């Protein structure tokens, strides 16, 4: 026999599945789904489809199949209480005559957290919170960091052989992992707001950095190229692909003026983030860059760089999540590149450690996923 908790979890899972329909289209807003149940039947459902369009709760009310007054609404994030791009959802719920609202998690924004729930309770609506809260936080881990820390959520993705190489000593790297792994990476690209690589990746591989999904149109991400001296060729594919998303060149004051002007004419956004050492510009300051990307409402980054950029990202402490694909191949080579290079940590006690580690298999490849321990915002 189903208990009330079982029923609540069942419909909350439905709301979260609906929420995923907004992947790649709502950034920097969260993924939210809503379900209204009355007399044991789903009578309305909706999700936040596109940034600027109706939120999940309003969409569900609009899509209602009959009278929803007296029903129970399930929503994976606290209904908003303020005017933003759309009117507050808490008021719409009250006006619709909903008698009970089940919420997975409160809004992590400290400026609004609890206010939406307060509006519902003041109107006499029974509110239940914390149903599948951990699942809800994982679903919106990007939004949680973005709204609480005012920085993008950074995922470092690597693909390596069993002996830890990301390419042969010759530079050949196509393909380390299989088709299923590569398709999964495109699903991640479809979710995040931006993809970041270093200039060496552009010069070596000449990637397009677009999203390609089987049987459907994916959402491209903004392409961010870290290039401290403006080496990027103007004919690079990443600068010339047909995409509705732009390119950001993260560079320094070392970029030649004529190159900067030429790139701006091509529609490239230039961000200068000088890293200074003893009065000299030595590279791109990734911490400063994160702040500038936040201002552009870029809430997430898929870091697909080589060993040098990955090393810098870990050194700056900007990495939140690591996704490491391991293929059962061995190529050897003392000079073959590895996922993280640079000087490295001198002692094991200083190693970057991951928590909440999980494993997933894609044919013969294995994905190891985990979160960098020092980033504790996910427990907010």
Q: How far apart are CA 222 and CA 290, in angstroms?
A: 14
Q: Which residues, 6+ apart, have CB-to-CB distance to 126 below 8 Å?
A: 99, 100, 101
DSSP class of 377: G
The active-site residue, picked from 9, 45, 57, 78, is 57
Q: How far apart are CA 29 and CA 295, in angstroms?
A: 14
Q: How far apart are CA 363 and CA 380, in angstroms?
A: 36
A 10 A CB-CB count for 376 gives 9
Would you call 9 a catalytic residue per the annotation?
Answer: no
Q: How far apart are CA 219 and CA 33, in angstroms?
A: 19
Q: Which residues, 6+ apart, have CB-to-CB distance to 135 below 8 Å?
A: 12, 13, 16, 104
Q: Are 81 and 119 in contact (CB under 8 A)?
A: yes
The CA-atom distances, in angstroms, between 217 and each of 134, 225, 259, 299, 329 are 30, 24, 34, 21, 32
Q: How far apart are CA 209 and CA 222, in angstroms?
A: 9
Q: 228-246 as b/e, with b when 16 or more CB fall inside 10 Å?
A: bebebeeebebbeeebebb
Provide the 3-class DSSP secondary structure of residue 126.
Answer: strand
DSSP state string for 53-85: S--HHHHHHHT-SS--TT-EEEESSPPP-S-SS
Q: How far apart are CA 308 and CA 197, in angstroms?
A: 10
Measured CA angle at 298 (ends 287, 178), to 5 deg: 95
Catalytic residues, by residue number, are 57
């Amino acid at each position: 026999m189903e208990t009330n908790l079982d029923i609540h979890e069942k419909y909350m899972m439905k709301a979260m599945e609906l929420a995923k329909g907004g992947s790649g289209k709502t950034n920097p807003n969260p993924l939210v789904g809503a379900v209204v149940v009355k007399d044991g039947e789903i009578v309305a459902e909706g999700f936040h489809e596109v940034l600027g369009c109706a939120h999940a709760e309003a969409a569900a009310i609009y899509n209602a199949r009959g009278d929803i007054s007296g029903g129970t609404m399930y929503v994976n994030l606290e209904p908003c209480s303020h005017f933003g791009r759309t009117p507050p959802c808490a008021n719409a719920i009250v006006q619709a005559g909903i008698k009970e609202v089940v919420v997975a998690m409160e809004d992590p924004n400290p400026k609004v957290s609890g206010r939406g729930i307060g509006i519902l309770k003041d109107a006499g609506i029974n509110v239940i919170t914390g149903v599948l809260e951990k699942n809800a936080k994982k679903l919106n881990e990007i939004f949680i960091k973005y709204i609480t820390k005012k920085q993008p959520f950074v995922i470092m993705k690597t693909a390596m052989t069993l002996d830890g190489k990301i390419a042969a000593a010759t530079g050949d790297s196509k393909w380390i992992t299989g088709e299923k792994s590569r398709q999964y990476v495109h699903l991640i690209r479809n979710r995040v707001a931006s993809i970041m690589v270093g200039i060496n990746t552009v010069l070596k591989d000449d990637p397009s950095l677009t999203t390609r999904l089987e049987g459907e149109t994916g959402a491209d991400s903004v392409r961010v190229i870290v290039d401290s001296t403006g080496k990027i060729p103007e004919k690079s594919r990443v600068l010339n692909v047909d995409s509705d998303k732009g390119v950001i060149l993260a560079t320094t004051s070392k970029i030649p003026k004529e190159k900067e002007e030429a790139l701006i004419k091509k529609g490239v956004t230039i961000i200068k983030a000088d890293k200074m050492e003893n009065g000299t510009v030595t590279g791109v300051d990734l911490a400063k860059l994160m702040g500038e990307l936040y201002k552009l409402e870029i809430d997430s980054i898929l870091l697909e760089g080589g060993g040098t950029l990955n090393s810098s990202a870990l050194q700056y402490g900007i990495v939140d999540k690591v996704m490491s694909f391991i293929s059962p191949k061995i190529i050897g080579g003392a000079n073959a590149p590895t996922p993280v290079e640079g000087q490295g940590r001198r002692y094991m006690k200083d190693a970057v450690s991951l928590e909440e580690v999980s494993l997933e298999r894609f044919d013969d490849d294995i994905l190891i996923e985990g979160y960098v321990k020092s980033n504790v915002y996910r427990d907010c």
